[in-house]
Chain A
């Protein structure tokens, strides 16, 4: 296929250039979607209400805060999906981390000053989240359980444990530091958004600039080739599911901080949104392609649709339709891109 493509491009450079352009645009499709959506909402808002949508810092912040939780789940999923896997347990790992963080903060608060208690809570939430991630990794890499089934199992386990620990209710947190972590602002920027941006940069570096990232792409593109080239695939897969669980854990901790309560079902509605963000962002569910910045755009696309449709006062159920349509278009673009020979 690629040999054929190169002969063709030599035969007709003009055609090849336009195809290169199409491929480049296809790779950036999430940002393109985002731009189209923003123009749409801006126009509608100006015409109907004489009010700006995009250039309001209030709207921008609201959308950013909204996108934080699904994006954090999606960041870890990006790595897993690029490697050709899937992690269905993240929603409830997030809930588990939220409940643990709430309990641990309260418990530590009995003997420690609030700031230290908050650190204990955050650490506990993140560390406990790694547990299900480790089990996922072992199931998939050592025991060869398909990722869909293995993580579905952990979805149930994490969920049950979170509900048990929470006693079937939400666990309120009484800690002023923790509350300002979730709702405070630094120089006018919400703290949760700042943390998420820093984390995005870290994940972007990890995926695009390190050997860890290269190996992730290699495994997703061709696992057998990756094994033959000397990559310790099982160990790498274990690390990927740990990373995914860590992202979900961070999502859970920030959720508990924001709502000053840990709820076992916190992440349940976010799982599908987060996978949608990864797919809209350009990752292929067959593995081998995807970027962190694409996922960021994907998460923003979903947040802008849901926020924007409420803003312009459209019947709420159109939100589902709109997100669904964007996912389908995105996958169609991906297929076309593959046909044109745009594989990495």
Chain B
């Protein structure tokens, strides 16, 4: 018995020495964390980078930001490979495809580099479950896009007096985030029996097309009450269609995302409501999670970040304006 106690005590001391030496080592060595966005030329990811930078500064980590100029796995994978070759201590990545990025990210995992996905996910987005090929990332940190769609639906319903026809102006089918926004939007509107949801119009990220689609839908449905633009180009295009149809203020436009230009659009009345994600929060918590893992803390397998609803009345208030994306 005594022997066992001694052994345990020795073990405990040993473990303490070991962990403290690791901790000491950790403090000596500066960690490097890589952030690979879905696309480098987008205010959303630029803001995410600012959040990650703030966190990196706070905990003394080096942040590497590298990505491709297009949201495309063919361009993202070479960037990822180059980053893996540099052996960072952790990788934060917004995978551009939930299937095609699995194998490339496995290489990082095999090389012992912890992977955290931000904004988008691989596989199902449920990690560390022991199921499937793509459960190895430690955590998925992102806005809950279904929830974002629901929030957009509630805001739009309120602004049109909970009745009338609405539709979703969307980019193209198959994009996980915009699909989820549409899903949440439509699902939430089932709670409003006097709102009719017309067929979704896909615009291929072409504002000109989104505008024309609005005019065509309005021509057939003069009682159109509102539109949900599932991303910026869809919303701006649909809003221009509303303007061309002489319906500004009568047909309400809800936009998803809040780049700096959205402020002007809200003030001029082009856009009525914007649903801002919190990309800085995603970047901040992504980096902190990586740091926590590297210093031996456990981290949650998913973190959902919030949304802010912006309109003419609140967009100037500092507590709201802080969620406008950065240049």
Which positions in A face B, CB cutoff 8 Å?
49, 51, 56, 58-59, 61-63, 65-66, 69-70, 160, 163, 166-172, 174, 183, 190, 255, 258-261, 263-266, 268-270, 303, 306-308, 310-313, 316-317
Contacts and interface: CB of A to CB of B under 8 A. Distances in A.
Interface in B207-241: 207-209, 211-213, 215-217, 219-220, 232-233, 236-237, 240-241
B295 interface: no
Contacts of B215: 58-59, 62, 65-66, 307
Q: Which A-B residue pairs are the 10 nearest by beta carbons?
A: A168-B41, A62-B215, A172-B261, A310-B216, A66-B212, A269-B206, A169-B43, A311-B216, A163-B41, A172-B264
B69 interface: yes
A270 B212 contact: no
Contacts of B245: 58, 62
Interface string B296-327: 00000000000000000000000000000101
A58 B43 CA distance: 36
B159 interface: no
A260 to B, nearest CB: 7
Interface of B: 40-43, 46, 69, 199-202, 204-209, 211-213, 215-217, 219-220, 232-233, 236-237, 240-241, 243-245, 259-261, 264-265, 268, 270, 325, 327
Contacts of A166: 41
Main SS of the interface on chain B? helix
B205 A269 contact: yes
A176 to B, nearest CB: 10
A317 B204 CA distance: 11
B313 to A, nearest CB: 20
Contacts of A306: 209, 212
Nearest to B239: A259
Nearest to B47: A169
10 contacts: A163-B69, A166-B41, A170-B259, A171-B261, A183-B243, A260-B270, A261-B236, A261-B261, A269-B209, A311-B217
Contacts of B211: 65-66
